[in-house]
A and B are shown apart, each in its own frame.
Chain A
Amino acid sequence: MIPEVGHYALILGFAFALLGGTVPVVGLIKKDSYLTRYAWPLSYGAFLFIAIAIALLAYSFATDDFSVAYIAHHSNTQLPLFFKIAAVWGGHEGSFLFWLFSLSGWAAAVAYCYRKRDEQFIARVLVTLAILTAVFSLFLLMVSNPFLRMLPAPLEGRDLNPMLQDVGLIFHPPMLYLGYVGFAVSFAFAIAALTTKSTTIPWARWSRPWTGASWVLLTGGIALGSWWAYYELGWGGWWFWDPVENASLMPWLTGTALMHSLIITEHRKALTSWTLLLAIFTFSLSLLGTFIVRSGVLTSVHAFAVDPTRGVSLLAILGVLLIVSLVLFALNADRFTRPVKFGFLSKEATFLAGNSLLAVATLTILLGTFYPMVFQALDLGNISVGAPYFNTLFVPLSFLFFIFMGFGVLIRWHRVSTDDLITRALAPMSVSIVLGVAFSVWFERGINLIVCLSFITAIWISLTAIQAFYFRRTASRDRKLGLASLRSLAMVIAHCGVAVTIIGAALVSHYSVETSNKMGPGDALNLSGYQFSYRETELIIGPNYTAEQANIEVSKDGKFEAMILPQRRHYTVRTMNMSEPGIKWYWKGDIYITLAEKLNRTDYAVRIQYKPYVRWLWIGSIMMMLGGALAVFARFKLKATQLSEKEALVPATIVMWK
């Protein structure tokens, strides 16, 4: 009964979204304000019913209703409760329902935020989002329905894939989807901007907090995914250039470009075409990502079950979306005039360069990800494009981008003389080079070019960010932190986060060490200054698994450091064996121990790795998220304290630099 109610709620949600995408359009065309205002309650309604649908699905999971096929495939009575709830998004149908839930949620949030003003424009935004919601709910209902029954109902479910039974599953997909889908709001703002006749609507300014919030969530989703893979998969990798990972990286790159391009469009009405296109493509890439994961077109460890029909439908939706939005762009983009011109040495130009580099990086990843498929279709054979290819091309592009990143922060608007630029940039540039080389030499006897460049660019990014913030504070006459200063602080935190991530990535990629040995109780060995002593093997019984656990004592210079407990788990229902690594983490690095197969009655093949500064990868991501969140928060906090139009439009950088 409950699943049927949930099913019906989903259908109602679809109905509300369909109406929300059509009725206000009639109102806009006929200039009937009454009909236009329907967009608001219809958005709320769609969200309400889709929320009910997913809540009921979660309830069915919690009560072990195995008559629902989706639940029978992904759950089990022995599964702990929080995993049962998380299993809602553990398979294709449920995760797509979550996608839909996020989309309708974002739409309702936009409706609530702008509920008292700018009816004409916001109505267009809501209509776009409603149309998207309607199309996707139709897709869900027809091709991927999570509420389908399976009769007669099995007594026991197939259990959630053991690899997914982890706290990572609870947070990674929701955050990722919220991020992906949040860019639909930026997309909707762009479409609204392209279809509105008004030229005074500050659509770029309004779009910024939504874009910022989505970016923060997407960053978090990707970072969580990386961290989860690191401690779950057992070999200490953190990025694999897998098609599904690439699918999340591409919208992140264009989303970053979008976030920054919006700044230029808001303040100078320049780079408008870039901003509009980036908004369109970021959401399209999110959709492409969903397509890749679910269609089976590309081989990946992360992919859901293969189903070409779903893939084709998603691709068709994506195709129509792109064609419509790009035609709108082609017809209307010229309406956005560029009153303020800029020179080669200017903030606008630097951001343009940054946009271009991010676009090239995104297209490169797209090329590499799809090339094997096209290659095979052309009967040229079977090739693989993996980490070596992506690293070779992506790393140099990144370094180039980081250089522009530093300049973008320092350089002024409109037009700057070469002398001025040199004065500003010389100090941080020279300090970065000197310190960068010094650090890289200090780390290793020889100089590794990539590590050296990583240090230089990381220090360059941090110094320029701090320098810009300092200038902003000295320029501002206010002792409290105004909007501009808060945003500048957010920038510092986020950019320093990037620097931290760069250093973590460089060091862990180049200076990891490992050793693989046969070990049993009583054995000991050394690695990287630590002593490892295998104390005993313990047998553990978990909720739905049994495990052999190695208790390994780690000490440094004779002093006890920690007990590390890697396990080999056997999951009874799905009869899968899994190796759970034991990790001890320090700021300076991780000790990572995996138990490979059992070699004889007492001994195991034990693999011990030391991964220097690997935590910095995720600490950097958290800093990026904090920076982004602060920027979004700053806007909302200061909205209350009478933010004047003027203060928002005139950037403090123009006021005075040294």
Chain B
Amino acid sequence: MKITRFLPLVFVLLAGSIIVLAMRAESTAVISPLQGQSIPEFSLASLENEQLTMTETSLTGEVQLLNVWASWCGVCKSEHPLLMDLAQQDKVRVIGLNYRDDRLAALKELQQSGNPYQAVIFDPKGSLAIDLGVYGTPESYLIDQHGVIRHRYVGALTRQIWEREFAPILKQLSVSGSLRESSDG
């Protein structure tokens, strides 16, 4: 009974354990390659006011939640109540990124179901979205007061996800610096 005869068994046990362990490991959230980096440069019109141009500096000064949505996106409707809640409680500034949408349809949607956004960036061509790495609506980005992306979530936000992933970072940011800084201009 030679030892070498047991090698295939050993190999299988090894490979099998790796695969089983890998299966049982909890799948971690998608880490955005932009995490820790500043928002990419952009220059787009606001949804409500065509004359008003928004740039990356518009997204500094406070901690904000950038929410990618569209009027044609059915799943987005499910996170709408939570967004309204967050906006009302004033925990964080909620900014919308209207992705590949029709201006009138988007405005109508906000009118009908309520507008949680302090401002909405109108991105009909998806140019900012592609720079952010957006690949499906809805998505949410937590951006700190300096315009650095701190966290990204792909999918509809729920209270649990907010509490588990966003709230801790929010707390951290309010401790390290004042939540509302005056803009440096």
Contact = CB atoms under 8 A, between A and B. Distances in A.
Contacts of A322: 9, 12, 16
Nearest to A327: B9
B25 A333 contact: no
Contact of A333 (B5, B12, B16, B19): B5
Nearest to B5: A330
B22 A377 contact: yes
A370 B9 CA distance: 19
B18 interface: yes
Nearest to B2: A334
Interface string A115-148: 0000000000000000000000000000000000
Given A382-B30, A382-B31, A330 B9 contact: yes
A373 interface: yes
A478 interface: no
Interface in A298-341: 308, 311-312, 315, 319, 322-323, 326-327, 329-331, 333-334
A645 interface: no
Interface string B4-38: 01101100110010111111010110110000000
Interface residues of A, number: 26
A330 B11 CA distance: 13
A295 to B, nearest CB: 8
Chain B interface, >50% SS class: helix
B13 A377 contact: no
B20 A379 contact: no
A311 B2 CA distance: 35
B36 to A, nearest CB: 14
A330 B6 contact: yes
Contact of A334 (B1, B8, B31): B1
Contacts of A52: none
Nearest to B24: A377
Contacts of A277: 8
Contacts of A370: 19, 22
A326 B9 CA distance: 5
B14 to A, nearest CB: 12
Among B8, B9, B13, B25, the one with the most A-chain Cβ atoms within 10 Å of its Cβ is: B8
A333 B4 CA distance: 11
B23 A311 contact: yes
Interface in A317-376: 319, 322-323, 326-327, 329-331, 333-334, 370, 373-374, 376
A446 B58 CA distance: 56
B26 to A, nearest CB: 9
Contacts of A253: none
Chain A interface, >50% SS class: helix
B9 A376 contact: no
A326 B7 CA distance: 9
Among B2, B9, B16, B30, the one with the most A-chain Cβ atoms within 10 Å of its Cβ is: B9
Interface residues of B, number: 20
A229 interface: no
A376 B28 contact: yes
A319 B6 contact: no
B6 A377 contact: no
Nearest to B22: A377
Nearest to B27: A376
A323 B31 CA distance: 38
Nearest to A366: B15
Contacts of A315: 19-20, 23
Contacts of B30: 382
Nearest to A382: B30
Contacts of A331: 1, 5
Contacts of A308: 23
Interface string A76-87: 000000000000
B110 to A, nearest CB: 28
Given A319-B16, A374-B19, A381-B31, A330 B25 contact: no
A373 B22 contact: yes
A297 interface: yes
Contacts of B20: 315
A121 B30 CA distance: 55
Nearest to A281: B8
A78 B20 CA distance: 43
B23 A379 contact: no
B5 A377 contact: no
Among B6, B13, B22, B31, the one with the most A-chain Cβ atoms within 10 Å of its Cβ is: B22
B94 to A, nearest CB: 28
Interface string B125-160: 000000000000000000000000000000000000
A203 B2 CA distance: 23
Contacts of B19: 315, 370, 373-374
A341 B27 CA distance: 52
Nearest to A373: B22
A455 B12 CA distance: 38
Given A319-B16, A373-B23, A377-B25, 6 more contacts: A273-B5, A322-B16, A373-B22, A374-B22, A376-B28, A377-B27
21 contacts: A312-B23, A315-B20, A319-B16, A322-B16, A323-B12, A326-B8, A329-B5, A330-B1, A330-B5, A330-B8, A330-B9, A331-B1, A334-B1, A370-B19, A373-B23, A374-B18, A376-B28, A377-B21, A377-B22, A377-B23, A382-B30
4 A-B pairs with the lowest CB-CB distances in the bound complex, closest first: A377-B22, A377-B25, A326-B9, A330-B5
